Amino acid sequence: MIYIKKFESKNSLCVSKIIISNLLKYNSKDYPLEAINTLIKFYSPDDIINYSKNDEIYVATNLINNEILGTISISNNQVRNVFVKDEYHQKGIGKKLMSYIENIAQKRKLPKLFLLAN
């Protein structure tokens, strides 16, 4: 069972690892390694904590063992940093994270959400 909750600073290392792993494994197919290595520098655990001061960050967790399976953030009407742990790709986690953010947007009566993705 998957539960989505607000990010806490204690989640920063796990979120950082998920993002960096995805950048290296998946995004590197679309971008040069130099660009990926530059991006990685912006996703340390401390950076994630700093981002959480401006963006709303959420994590998808496994209710049984509290393992963090993915993350997503929203800032105004922009969806950012949708990443899922490698071994949980194609399991519906990203879909659940997006649905969660869409519900937030509906409650806030946002007419549109924007997501830059590759």
Region 110-114 average pLDDT: 94
Contact by Cβ (8 Å): 30, 118 = yes
Residue 63: predicted pLDDT:
92
pTM of the model: 0.94
Paired with 68 in beta bridges are 61
Give the count of domains, the chain: 1
pLDDT band at 69 (very low <50, low <70, confident <90, very high): very high
> Which CATH number goes with the domain that contains 21?
3.40.630.30
Q: Give the SS3 label for residue 81.
A: strand
Range of the domain at 92: 2-115
Region 86-107 average pLDDT: 96
**Eight-state DSSP code of residue 10:** G
CA distance 1 to 30: 32
pLDDT digits (tens, 9 = 90+) for 24-61: 999 888 899 999 999 999 999 999 999 999 999 999 99
